[in-house]
Structures are given as structure tokens and as C-alpha cells.
Amino acid sequence: MTKIYSGMSAAALQRVTWQKSRRSNSQGNCVEMAKLPGDEVAVRNSRHPNGPALVYTRAEIEALILGAKDGDFDNLLQ
């Protein structure tokens, strides 16, 4: 089995299901996520599906999502 690490080719992550948000835009500027074995989640750019995958723990992804819901990053969009 291939060692999973952040920055590896997303194409090397076999037998994972990539999921795109329903809020993705029609230009294809999307982020996709895939659940990995254990407590990790991979993230990739949908425009470059064979490019690098960033790997985070479930807790890190949860903190990001909750922060976005709370508006913690709204100032980045101004």
C-alpha cells in the first residue's frame, strides 16, 4: 500500500471517492474532498485531478468548516 502524505499526487490515492460541493460554480473552480482510511481527508483542485492532494485530519477539516460557517474568514473575501 502507498504511504499517504500531504502533497502526493491525487492520482495515487486509489479507491477513494472524490466529492464536490453542491455550491461549486460552473467554471470548474472547485475543491474536492475524499475520505481516507483512518482519520484523514484529502483535498484536491478539481481542475487538476492528478495534481497534489493536501491531507488533513478530520479535526482540521471540521475546524475549517465550522470557522467558515461562523464567518471567521469573511474578511478574506472583501
Is the residue at 1 inside a domain? Answer: no
| Total number of domains in the chain | 1
The parent domain of residue 56 ranges over: 10-77
Residue 3, in any domain of the structure = no
Q: Is 56 helix (H, G, I), strand (E, B) or coil?
A: strand
2 in any annotated domain: no
pLDDT per residue of the chain (78 residues) written in tens, 0 to 9: 579 999 999 999 999 999 998 878 777 778 999 999 899 999 999 999 999 999 999 999 999 999 999 999 999 988
Q: What is the pLDDT of residue 26?
A: 73
User: Is 47 inside a domain boundary?
Assistant: yes
Q: Give the burial class of 18: count Cβ atoms within 10 A of its Cβ; 0-12 exposed, 13-18 middle, 19 or more buried.
A: middle
The helix/strand/coil state of 10 is helix
> What is the rounded CA–CA span in Å between residue 27 and residue 47?
10
Beta bridge partners of 27: none
Q: Is residue 34 part of a domain?
A: yes
Give domain status of residue 5, yes or no.
Answer: no
**Residue 21 confidence (pLDDT):** 85
Instruction: Note whether residue 4 is domain-resident.
Output: no
Q: Whole-prediction pTM value?
A: 0.86
